[in-house]
Chains A and B, each alone.
Chain A
Amino acid sequence: MNKWFKSGSPWIWLSAGGVSLSLISVLGLLWLIASRGLSYFWPSELYQFDLTDEHGTKSVVIGEIYDREQIPVSQLAHLDLVLEPDQEILERLLIKTGNRELVSLDFRWLLSHNIQKTQTPKDLVVVERRTNGNFYGYIETVVVDGKEVALEKLPELLSRVDNFQEQINELQKSDIGAINYQLERLRLKTRKYQLQNKLTPELQAQIDSEIATLNQEYAELEQELLGYRKEVSRDHIVMRAMDGQLVTINFEYILKVTFNNQLTLIEKIALFFSQIASFLIEDPREANTEGGVFPAIFGTVLMVLLMTVIVSPFGVIAAIYLHEYAGKNAFTKLLRIAVINLAGVPSIVYGVFGLGFFVYMVGGSLDQLFYSENLPSPTFGTPGVLWSALTLAILTLPVVIVSTEEGLSRIPSAMRHGSLALGATKAETLWRIILPIASPAIMTGIILAIARAAGEVAPLMLVGVVKMAPNLPLDGNFPFLHLDRKFMHLGFHIYDVGFQSPNVEAARPLVYATALLLVSIIVALNMTAVSIRNKLRERYKMLEH
């Protein structure tokens, strides 16, 4: 034993333990997010529990099993349960019961001790709705235009309503949205002329006639919309809930009706993927706690692209300066310290700087100069996607610099000397020889910067992200790209839905799914960057020999 200690072997093993623990935590974390995130999409079994509680009251509960936990009996002493004498631990089930119009809470704890019978009836359905969350129960009747029809008609009716809903959406979002946007622009135009004292009666008349045409169009579209609405709300189904109550659900509110217990494995897999797809392409519903995350994906991507456009030239030029032009002097040392510090400054400090400098100072001045007709409501003097992109560009600048410089330093100096010896100027050598060879390194830097920016939330909370953006920053209205708009972001979505939403418990699976999406994007980006870098290193090694 003593000899064993003297050999140092236990300490080596302990330090190996550090590696193991780190690996366990990384992989465990990824596994946790993946499993929880993916299970959100998997159609789960629907259960019917027949219960008898400690007072002998019987009841029926229908829902999905959400969680299980073991609790010591001592915590349930107040319930006066009839138990086996040696029983110390009881199992408790968390059931998602939905049916928000009947019970106030979506979730309910059941003691498995009280469950008399558990069934999975084939005709149990879950109805996904636009409002009020899921409804669990049995379909009693399907009513079309006041007449009862067979259950088999349901898919056909649903797809009919889906079509109408799509048209309504189209009308509301693009056509009516465009008219509102144009009306607003006309109002601003009038105000601008007024401010410049150029509003002549002719101009006023012209603008008035334009407004009249738009209002006319608006009225027509509204009529059309009303027509669709009427069609959509024609039919309804009657559902029987767990306590036997009958509830009428209009097709207007129905998104999907699934007989989860009738699904075969293949159908389940198909449903699983279609759920993932709709998560990616749909808009959020019910204060972000249901539906998809499309606007958040869109906002993240757009902001990151803008940032890339800004950060890449600056980062690359700075790296070239540091490696190719800067002499070995105190100033260069100072520059390097600046780069290290830019990388080390907490991200929230960038947010504070971005809010004060970009939003209030630069944006405020822009408003005064170019958007005075809109004041006092700010155009650029308020957080928005442009300022977010700029702030994150400063934040990710060192990432691009460090990576590019690493690439430059691996290029053998013989290549530079060769080019210069052949009579090329330094700039030509850079442009024709160095940059093409270093391009994968630059790419790596940019990808790493994107990965960093996609996951950063704290500064964005100050400079432009919102929980719910009414319009995307890119749409069909001139000038198409609206840099002044606020946007949604995946990372902030996680924070907001997970911590600020009114029903955190119900939203949690969605947060896991969003987290999985974000982690996958970032891990994929990082792995790509690392593999490009590794390939690059191999290639340089070959160049050296």
Chain B
Amino acid sequence: MATLVSSNRSRGVKNSLAKWLITLGGISVLFTLVLIFLYLLYVVKPIFESAQIEPKVSITLDLKANDKVLSTGVDELQEVAYQITETGNIDFYHLKASAPKADNQFSVGDNALSMSLFASDDLNQERVTNVVNSFSANKILHTAKGNTVLIQPSFYAKYANDTREIIPQVNYPLGKDSLIIDEQQAPLSNLAFAMDDEKIVFVGFTQDKRLIKTSFIAEDDFSSSSDGEDVEYETIFQQIELLEGKVDEIKVTPDLSLAFIRVASTVYVYSLSDDDEVNLKATIKPTLDNNGTYLTSMALLSGSSSVLLGDSNGQISQWFEVATEAGRKFKQIRSFDARGIEGRNSQTSNAITTIYTEQYRKSFYTMTDNGMVNVFYTTSSAHLWQGKLGSAQPEAFAIAPRANGLIIVDNDSIDGKKTNLQVFSVHNEHPEVTWQALWQEVWYEGYPEPDYIWQSTSGSDDFEGKFSLVPISFGTIKAALYAMLFAVPIALTAAIYTAYFMTPVMRKKVKPTIELMEALPTVILGFLAGLWLAPLMEEYLPAIFLLFIFLPISTLITAFAWYNLPNHWKDKLPETLAPLLLIPVMVLAIYAAFALSGVLELAFFNGDMRQYLTNDLGIDFDQRNALVVGIAMGFAVIPTIFSMAEDAIFSVPSHLTSGSLALGATQWQTLIKVVLLTASPGIFSAVMMGLGRAVGETMIVLMATGNTPILDWSIFQGMRTLAANIAVEMPESEVGSSHYRILFLAAFVLFIFTFIFNTAAEFVRQRLREKYSSM
């Protein structure tokens, strides 16, 4: 007895254990779907987050009483920052404490290195007036007496005891002595420069109001030595004719081709490429909002094509050269409002004092008079951040090399005599992606007008990814639509016939045969479409169009012939054999179409329809085009639609049809008025399922089109779809980059799209099942 009870108990335990396990297993299906949804969302989410700026480290600088910070900077890892002061000193500070194990112990704010940048004796006791930055790490110090030094603060990592220490140093690419920029050695009030390995170009405005250009052309290479002692170069001095007034700002593009000179509210663009002559290339005169507004600052955007102009009313405009009928012209592309909601109502000045641009991306920071900092991204027109960082006007401001931090040097808000160096961390990984940039026309640099463009990679370094989902979404819809145009008529007619007219014996054979098509791997359909159908179609183009006429007509002729057959013949060949009778007829029709193709081409298309289309009608023709995709993907979709539509029609309760037939309706009338009407929700859901499959199909589109992301409905041109785009680009995209996340977004869009279609179709089907069972 006792054993029976205990065994019963263990049976009970097993039973409930099994129940729990199985329930868990069942729920895991739902869990999987939710997991996919959430994971895709998790990867996509960061691209729609706006920028965040948070204080990270703040250190108090020890400055001499009469000294002032002019420039600042930081290494790539943000472990060591530096400042350059008016007295020509550079001081490096640790931003991160040393590891406990490290040999060299230091804490945050400790001095890492301090030195005078004026190594040469003749520079001693000078005061720096200008620190000029370039897009590289090089900087120029210019002194009140007109001396100039090119310096390069740099960092290297030292590994010891499994710890890393960043060691700062200062290089002098052109040596420690003063450089001669102006032939007459007058002090400069404005200076800009840019350099590459062979050449340095300086553009300056002297205190005696001459605009000068000076080029250093290396004998060998400027990057050959770090101390710059042996570098030899030739100097060319040139004077630029200035039309009016006093220069406010000068910028030189990093490719050494253009100089932008701002004189009050006008910007003169000079071409620098010619070493003999400096030509005025263009004049930019922005139309400013209201009277009294004037330009206050200017900056070059990374990539050296765009210039940004900020005005006294808090507006920034972006300009670049655009090809027009009258040649290349500078045009205002877009503008940004740095006032924000708060600023628009405030009484304080919104004038843009400085614009800081990032080194590699098209982001920029603006500083307004009232101390407001704004972050924008040009291409996506995104206003990423607005707020105040520290006091109103910083003494120095720099963006970290990887654009993930800011360094601001300003006076302490409480104790005005103390100077602080503050480091902010910036989370702004995907500024180029906004909902508008993905779905609206964007005006990219170098393009004549705004456009929808998908171009994710390129060979060049300063390439900007162009991520418009419009062309590839369009391609998806185009491919699906052509496939449905081809598949729906065939699949539905076949379903109607199989379900309603076919004998059970034949149906048992025909249905699995057509459904077998669904099992065929799409890679095979794609391969045949790309390598067999596409060349075949190119050669016999008229035949394909003839088929659209020949197939229905040959069917009707056969039908009419059968109708006129004597009755004893009809008995031998009953109408139920129609599909079999039609097979040889159709094969003949297909053969005829192909045989006539050449004749037709000779007669109407000068012997080659393809050539005729391109040359005479001006229609572009791709070998792998929408027609090929339509047919190939149509074949892939036919069995899906066929199978479900057939089920829906077949399960219409027979008493409905019997009733209709008994009341004297013909077979066809019963079909149209009773059967199809009853089954229409099922047919609808079949088409939805087919569409869902066509939208997500990858391999056929990948192989049967040229995968060019274009916006064109032409049946003779290809397309690129969301799915194929993912398959092509995903393996090459860098994990975590904007491109990677946008591809996930494409997958997410596909997921949502098919989710809606499938769920709707499933709902309709469930309703239909209930309706049938209640009939």
Q: Which residues of A contact B (CB under 8 A)?
A: 4, 7-27, 29, 32-33, 69-70, 72, 74-75, 88-89, 313-314, 317-318, 320-322, 324-326, 333-353, 355-357, 360, 394, 397, 401, 425-428, 430-431, 451-452, 454-458, 461-462, 491-492, 494-495, 498-499, 504, 508, 511, 515, 518-519, 522-523, 526-527, 530
B31-58 with Cβ < 8 A to chain A = 32-33, 35-36, 39-40, 43
For residue B110, give the distance in angstroms from its CB to the closest CB of chain A.
30
For residue A540, give the distance in angstroms from its CB to the closest CB of chain B.
17
The one of B527, B726, B762 that contacts A337, using a Cβ cutoff of 8 Å: B762
For residue A209, give the distance in angstroms from its CB to the closest CB of chain B.
28
Q: Which residues of A contact B731 (CB under 8 A)?
A: 461-462
| B635 in contact (CB, < 8 A) | yes
B489-527 with Cβ < 8 A to chain A = 489-498, 501-502, 510, 512-514, 516-517, 519-524, 526-527
Whether B579 pairs with A16 at a CB distance below 8 angstroms is yes
CA distance A75 to B602 in the complex (A): 10
Q: Which residues of B contact A344 (CB under 8 A)?
A: 689, 692-693, 754-755, 757-758
Interface centre among A9, A401, A426 (most CB of B within 10 A): A9
Whether B494 pairs with A19 at a CB distance below 8 angstroms is yes
Whether A338 pairs with B29 at a CB distance below 8 angstroms is yes
CA distance A343 to B519 in the complex (A): 14
Whether B521 pairs with A21 at a CB distance below 8 angstroms is no
Whether B555 pairs with A17 at a CB distance below 8 angstroms is yes
The one of B11, B22, B491, B520 that contacts A29, using a Cβ cutoff of 8 Å: B520
Whether A13 pairs with B754 at a CB distance below 8 angstroms is no
A337-B759, A348-B698, A401-B29 known; A18 vs B497 contact (CB < 8 Å): yes
- 12 CB contacts below 8 A, A to B, read A14-B559, A16-B578, A20-B578, A21-B586, A72-B607, A317-B25, A341-B758, A342-B33, A349-B750, A426-B15, A458-B698, A498-B531
Q: Contacts A13-B578, A345-B696, A519-B521 known; list 20 others, CB within 8 Å.
A: A12-B667, A13-B582, A20-B586, A27-B513, A72-B602, A74-B606, A314-B29, A317-B25, A321-B26, A337-B759, A341-B33, A342-B29, A351-B730, A352-B726, A425-B14, A428-B11, A455-B522, A462-B726, A499-B530, A504-B531
CA distance A347 to B636 in the complex (A): 14
For residue A17, give the distance in angstroms from its CB to the closest CB of chain B.
4
In the A-B complex, list the 9 residue pairs whose CB atoms are closest, starting with the nearest.
A346-B696, A8-B668, A321-B26, A455-B521, A18-B493, A317-B25, A13-B559, A427-B18, A18-B494
Question: A342 — nearest CB in chain B belongs to which residue?
Answer: B33
| B699 in contact (CB, < 8 A) | yes
Q: Which residues of A contact B695 (CB under 8 A)?
A: 346
Whether B36 pairs with A20 at a CB distance below 8 angstroms is no
A425-B11, A526-B516 known; A345 vs B755 contact (CB < 8 Å): yes
Interface centre among B514, B555, B744 (most CB of A within 10 A): B555
| B457 in contact (CB, < 8 A) | no
Whether A334 pairs with B30 at a CB distance below 8 angstroms is yes
| B596 in contact (CB, < 8 A) | no
The one of A89, A427, A452 that contacts B19, using a Cβ cutoff of 8 Å: A427
Q: Which residues of B contact A397 (CB under 8 A)?
A: 29, 32
Question: B25 — nearest CB in chain A belongs to which residue?
Answer: A317
Q: Which residues of A contact B754 (CB under 8 A)?
A: 341, 344-346, 349
**Tally of contacts, chain A with chain B, CB under 8 A:** 335
A72-B601, A353-B36, A454-B521 known; A29 vs B689 contact (CB < 8 Å): no
Q: Which residues of B contact A13 (CB under 8 A)?
A: 555-556, 558-559, 562, 578, 582
Q: Which residues of B contact A16 (CB under 8 A)?
A: 497, 501, 555, 578-579, 582
Whether B521 pairs with A317 at a CB distance below 8 angstroms is no
| B462 in contact (CB, < 8 A) | no
> Could you mark each residue 752-767 of chain B with 1 if its beta carbon is under 8 Å from any beta carbon of chain A, else 0?
0011011101100010
Whether B26 pairs with A511 at a CB distance below 8 angstroms is no
Whether A335 pairs with B29 at a CB distance below 8 angstroms is yes
Question: B524 — nearest CB in chain A belongs to which residue?
Answer: A515
For residue A128, give the distance in angstroms from its CB to the closest CB of chain B.
24
Q: Which residues of B contact A (CB under 8 A)?
A: 11-12, 14-15, 17-19, 21-23, 25-30, 32-33, 35-36, 39-40, 43, 489-498, 501-502, 510, 512-514, 516-517, 519-524, 526-528, 530-532, 539, 551-552, 555-556, 558-560, 562-563, 575, 578-580, 582-583, 586-587, 590, 598, 601-602, 606-608, 635, 638, 642, 666-669, 671, 689, 692-693, 695-699, 702-703, 723, 726-727, 730-731, 735, 743-744, 747, 750-751, 754-755, 757-759, 761-762, 766
For residue A235, give the distance in angstroms from its CB to the closest CB of chain B.
40
For residue A108, give the distance in angstroms from its CB to the closest CB of chain B.
18
Whether B579 pairs with A11 at a CB distance below 8 angstroms is no
Whether A458 pairs with B28 at a CB distance below 8 angstroms is no
Whether B11 pairs with A19 at a CB distance below 8 angstroms is no
Question: B547 — nearest CB in chain A belongs to which residue?
Answer: A21
A13-B555, A337-B759, A338-B33 known; A26 vs B666 contact (CB < 8 Å): no
Whether A18 pairs with B489 at a CB distance below 8 angstroms is yes
Whether B524 pairs with A518 at a CB distance below 8 angstroms is yes
Q: Which residues of A contact B30 (CB under 8 A)?
A: 334-335, 338
Whether A345 pairs with B36 at a CB distance below 8 angstroms is yes
A26-B517, A394-B32, A425-B11 known; A320 vs B22 contact (CB < 8 Å): yes
Q: Which residues of A contact B726 (CB under 8 A)?
A: 348, 351-352, 462
CA distance A527 to B519 in the complex (A): 10
CA distance A344 to B693 in the complex (A): 7
The one of A18, A72, A326, A352 that contacts B743, using a Cβ cutoff of 8 Å: A352
Q: Which residues of B contact A491 (CB under 8 A)?
A: 521, 523-524
Q: Which residues of A contact B19 (CB under 8 A)?
A: 325, 426-427
Q: Which residues of B contact A334 (CB under 8 A)?
A: 30
For residue A354, give the distance in angstroms from its CB to the closest CB of chain B.
10
The one of A20, A70, A353, A427 that contacts B39, using a Cβ cutoff of 8 Å: A353
Whether A4 pairs with B521 at a CB distance below 8 angstroms is no
Question: B517 — nearest CB in chain A belongs to which residue?
Answer: A26
Question: B763 — nearest CB in chain A belongs to which residue?
Answer: A337
CA distance A353 to B761 in the complex (A): 24
Q: Which residues of B contact A72 (CB under 8 A)?
A: 598, 601-602, 607-608
For residue A488, give the distance in angstroms from its CB to the closest CB of chain B.
14
The one of A26, A324, A523 that contacts B514, using a Cβ cutoff of 8 Å: A26
CA distance A15 to B606 in the complex (A): 37
A17-B552, A346-B754, A458-B727 known; A325 vs B39 contact (CB < 8 Å): no
CA distance A463 to B48 in the complex (A): 27
For residue B152, give the distance in angstroms from its CB to the closest CB of chain A.
30
Q: Which residues of A contact B496 (CB under 8 A)?
A: 15, 18
Whether A12 pairs with B528 at a CB distance below 8 angstroms is no
CA distance A75 to B601 in the complex (A): 11
The one of A23, A349, A357 that contacts B696, using a Cβ cutoff of 8 Å: A349
CA distance A409 to B497 in the complex (A): 29
Whether B555 pairs with A456 at a CB distance below 8 angstroms is no
The one of A32, A340, A347 that contacts B698, using a Cβ cutoff of 8 Å: A347
Question: B531 — nearest CB in chain A belongs to which residue?
Answer: A498
Whether B21 pairs with A356 at a CB distance below 8 angstroms is no
Question: B507 — nearest CB in chain A belongs to which residue?
Answer: A19
The one of B26, B528, B555, B556 that contacts A317, using a Cβ cutoff of 8 Å: B26
Question: A18 — nearest CB in chain B belongs to which residue?
Answer: B493
Whether A318 pairs with B29 at a CB distance below 8 angstroms is yes
CA distance A46 to B391 in the complex (A): 89
A349-B747, A518-B521 known; A462 vs B730 contact (CB < 8 Å): yes
Whether A22 pairs with B490 at a CB distance below 8 angstroms is yes
Whether A8 pairs with B669 at a CB distance below 8 angstroms is yes
Q: Which residues of A contact B513 (CB under 8 A)?
A: 23, 26-27
CA distance A19 to B492 in the complex (A): 9
Question: B40 — nearest CB in chain A belongs to which residue?
Answer: A353
Interface centre among B520, B671, B696 (most CB of A within 10 A): B520
Q: Which residues of A contact B730 (CB under 8 A)?
A: 351-352, 355, 462
CA distance A74 to B33 in the complex (A): 60
Whether B583 pairs with A24 at a CB distance below 8 angstroms is yes
Whether A23 pairs with B510 at a CB distance below 8 angstroms is yes
Whether B22 pairs with A321 at a CB distance below 8 angstroms is yes
